[in-house]
Copies of this chain bind each other. A is one copy, B any other.
Amino acid sequence: MKDINVDALFLGPKSENQKFLKEMIEFMLDEHIFWRRDFHPEDKDAITLKEQRESGFQNTLEKTREVLLELSSKLKRSSEPWFSPRYLGQMNSDVLMPAVIAYMATILYNPNNCAYEGAPATTSLEIEVGKQLSKMMGYDPEKAWGHITSGGHVANFEGTWFMRNLKSAPNAIKQVKPELVKGLDDWQLMNLSTTKILDLLDETKKLGIFDEVRNHSVRGTGMTSGKLGKLLVPQTKHYSWTKVVDIMGIGSENFVNVQVTDKCRMDINHLKEEIDKLVEQKIPILGVVSVVGTTEEGAVDEVHEVVKLRKEYEKKGISFYYHIDAAYGGYARSIFLDKNDDFISYENIKPMLHESGAMQMDNDWPSRDIYEAYKAMSEADSITTDPHKMGYVPYQAGAIMAKDTRVKDLVSYFAAYVFAQGMTNENPVLLGSYIMEGSKAGATVAAVWASHKVLPLNISGYGRLIGRSQEVAQRFYKALSNEPEFTLENGKTYKAFTLTKPDFNMVNWTFNEVGNTSLKKMNDLTLKLFDKFQYVGGPVYSEDFLTSHTEFTLADYGKAPVHFLNKIGIDEKEFLNGTGVWIFRASLLTPFLNLEKDWDNYWATFMKTVKKTILEVD
């Protein structure tokens, strides 16, 4: 288990693994180059040596070279140094070499995973990856459905597509074959569980009326605003959700924003209240969305509580679709799986994290509620997760998994020209007919597949990599929290304040002048400091550290930030009157900050830079 060395998986902050990277890329290039030459060797060269010597030919190569050098200049001048532990901003870090090389190599073959015909090799890799990810989520891979999307947005669209079309199915059945739902009134039809609806649809398949039912569902009739009920999403919802309800024809009016706690997790009591209010008004619940790893705080919603709640409501005849947006946090479920992919008991999780080398310090992560949240994910109807976030593969790769593969029949279409006759027996490989997108890069899939193959989705693989980043985050959080007040040459004394103990590998914090009670004044300091720690233009390499920031407003967060302001000693009035709280935000994905020897030096440099910069701006 200790045989995987995470450091050998990345090019490294100083290109330490450059020889391996170059050697493998050259090898994969040659593989492709000579593969081409082996197809009908008897065919003559299409481009003769003589032609290659001609001036037009040479000019074209020169032009290409010039353009590529221009591109390289642009990239080098202003790309963010995500490979460096000095980058403390968005969900970015160095990416896995297996992914990078697989991606590059596959581009040469340029498969299109829309249909088997366009990607005989990578289509089956996508099916394999879908099963792996489903298994990681605790789904039965043989009964689940998963595939790669072009990102988390599309995955959330697709999850909502399942949800919406499913919710409209019982009524469609009633219209086509009322006997099948005899005895169920309209309210009951809007409150069937996912499994019950899918079982009913199986009946319609047997009767040969499935297509007719689909045509009577929302995909045939179009949406009728509000008829399918409300979508309950935590207040901290990712901005993709505003797009989802717009595009899917649901409308933002049919959002119910569930308040968050001071840990920025969905407040279960408030969720219950909102559900009760809706039930009282006989308004159906289209679905509930939890977030595992909020994009601004890394908060992990208490999935297990939602699962419990749904079970309770189901006893009262109320049910709803449950989707988890784990774009950010999903891959971390690998931490909780032993090398046989079984979910580790809570008693064993910390010892096993140590034993596997995933976490080296004496950590109090994960807490019981985070553990239970991850465990309960297997009960959700669908889950979004992004390989291009905690999967450490290059952009752009999202993924959607559904617990019950039958949901895909509600969204499937068939295109004669892409799907050859006779191929219909191999349904799962006709991706374009089951997904929101069409043409899609097989190269992305190859990158994800190669990463999963090198790093299994359990504690022996990804768990070790992601465990490292959790440890870095906990360490960063503790260092900031424990950093004593410091007085600078300007005569002022400052202190760092952390928002919450991180649920995931993201840390939020501010600095405040000791004694200051003005939110505006603290915000000013944050924004002036951020100005020095962000990249806007010019040579990126003039930066010492890079980070990101975000704003917590009353409109988006309710009173959740008040607890934080109280801790700092900031008067909450300004916030309640509409001034947002600006805060630093660091996703700590870097695998290169875990060792004791590095840390002290790193932290000293960081705080020295912070102090120098505060002096410059304040």
Contacts and interface: CB of A to CB of B under 8 A. Distances in A.
Given A5-B57, A437-B151, A551-B416, A108 B100 contact: yes
A493 interface: no
Interface in A417-469: 417-418, 420-421, 432-433, 436-444, 446, 449-450, 453-454
Copies of the protein in its oligomer: 2
A386 interface: yes
Given A18-B33, A90-B112, A246-B411, 6 more contacts: A5-B56, A13-B46, A14-B36, A22-B26, A92-B112, A150-B437
A164 to B, nearest CB: 8
B121 A78 contact: yes
A254 B224 CA distance: 13
Contacts of A551: 416, 421
A215 interface: yes
Interface stretch (A257-265, A269-277, A335-343, A532-540): A532-540
A40 to B, nearest CB: 6
A405 interface: no
A83 B36 contact: yes
A548 B248 contact: no
Interface string A165-197: 100000000000000000000000000000000
A527 B65 CA distance: 46
A245 B31 CA distance: 44
Interface string A87-123: 0011010010110111111111111100001111110
A205 interface: no
Interface in A368-401: 386, 388, 394-396, 398
A15 interface: yes
A226 interface: yes
Interface residues of A, number: 181
B92 A151 contact: no
A12 B47 contact: yes
Interface string A198-219: 0000000000000000010011
Interface stretch (A236-244, A304-312, A470-478, A511-519): A236-244
A76 B222 contact: no
A223 interface: yes
Nearest to A540: B120
B251 A248 contact: no
A154 B158 CA distance: 13
A259 to B, nearest CB: 18
A320 interface: no
Contacts of A7: 46-47, 51, 57
A16 interface: yes
Contacts of A34: 15
A46 B5 CA distance: 13
Contact of A4 (B13, B63, B83): B63
Contacts of A27: 68
Contact of A75 (B29, B80, B109, B433): B109
Interface string A53-97: 011111111011101101110111111111111100110100101
Interface string A556-575: 10000000000000000000
